[in-house]
Amino acid sequence: MDMTLLPRTAALVIPILLGWLAGIFINYASDVLPATRRFSQPVCPECQTPFRWVDYLTLRACRNCGRQRSLRTWLVQILAVAAFVYFWLYPSKALGIPLGMLVLTYFGIITVIDLEHRLILHPTSLAGAVLGLIVGISIHSRAGGFWFGLGKSLLGGLFGFGVMYLLYQFGALVARLRARKMQAAGQAADDEEALGGGDVYLAGVLGLMLGWPFIWDGLLLGVLLGGLISFLFIFALLLRRRYVKDALMTFIPYGPYFIISAFYLLFL
Ligand SMILES: [Zn+2]
């Protein structure tokens, strides 16, 4: 019998425990940051009664209205533990285990907030920029020292931010033209945006992480993935004989696609 098997299995307690804690932090950040923009006391989404910390951290139902914790809460806990165990056994070559865990937690927070609120918050982008620099430098300094790594990371961040900024400006222009056209047609203009401003910051953060020239792959993969999903969406609408015009104007949130492509490049 392999005598190292038992300690290795016992060591799995570490990623299970850390994954559970990361899940709690992802849930907590996703619960409070969109509402208060700071690490405030969590409240019940149903009746707004503040949670007692013990109840909140042990995932208990609200004591006031009895509302159970959300499906997302449990899903995040399970996925975080699964991801931590997986990347403990098969660590990312680029990141290693500790940095990989930090990046997983960060991706978890922005993904949940983006999916639930269509929002990429400035505080999370700022925290991401710091983490992005650490990741970018640690990946790229292996080839040529600290300053080389710093340069590559900054160049990647600048490129990601710059490209998405130009796309954002183009999207804003299209939105303005569309608003004018709708007003001319006697309709009220809406606030539909082709590309969210938060995606620009996210692209900058991922650029810092991936560095130059890998941010190219990150952006390209994200845009392709977003385009593919949008195409399938339009195709589904066509099958249901809905107007293509509506489909083309539908908001494309690039955030999740960028995160998926960065996740793929960093971890797999
Ligand atoms: Zn309640």
What pLDDT, in 10s, does the model give residues 113-167? 988 988 888 889 999 999 999 999 999 998 889 999 999 999 999 999 999 899 8
Q: Taking each helix axis from N to C terminus, what angle separates 96-117 and 13-36, rounded to the nearest 10 degrees?
A: 40
**pLDDT higher for 193 or 198?**
198
- Give me the pLDDT at residue 188, please: 61
Residue 183: per-residue pLDDT = 79
20 Cα: distance to centroid of ligand 1 (angstroms) = 24
* The pLDDT of residue 187: 67
pLDDT (0 to 100) of residue 176: 81
Mean pLDDT of 11-23: 95
Measured CA to CA, the distance from residue 105 to residue 175 in angstroms comes to 34
Q: State the distance from the centre of ligand 1 to the C-alpha of 44, rounded, in angstroms.
A: 5
Q: Is the peptide bond before 50 cis (omega within 30 degrees of 0)?
A: no
The answer on pLDDT for 191 being more than 70 is no
Average pLDDT, the chain: 87
pTM, to two decimals: 0.85
What is the Cα–Cα distance from 91 to 260, expressed in whole angstroms?
17
pLDDT of 42-99, one tens digit each? 999 999 999 999 999 999 999 999 999 999 999 999 999 999 999 999 999 999 999 9
H helix or E strand, kind and range, residue 130: helix 122-184
Residue 261's CB: how many other CB atoms inside 10 A? 23
Nearest to 73 by CA among 59, 58, 63: 59
Cα(51) to centroid of ligand 1, in Å?
8
Place of tokens 């399970």: 78
Distance 52 CA to ligand 1 centre (A): 12
Distances (CA, A) of 232 to 1, 135, 167, 216: 51, 34, 22, 24
Least confident piece of the model among 9-23, 134-148, 227-241: 227-241
SS3 for 254?
A: coil
Close Cβ partners of 190 (under 8 Å, ≥ 6 residues apart): 179, 182
Q: Does the structure show a pLDDT above 80 at 241?
A: no
* Residue % of the chain over a pLDDT of 70: 89
pLDDT at 195 over 60: no
- Greater confidence, 207 or 183? 207
CB-side neighbour CA atoms (13 Å) of 14: 11
pLDDT score for 197 = 77
Cα(65) to ligand 1 centroid in Å equals: 4
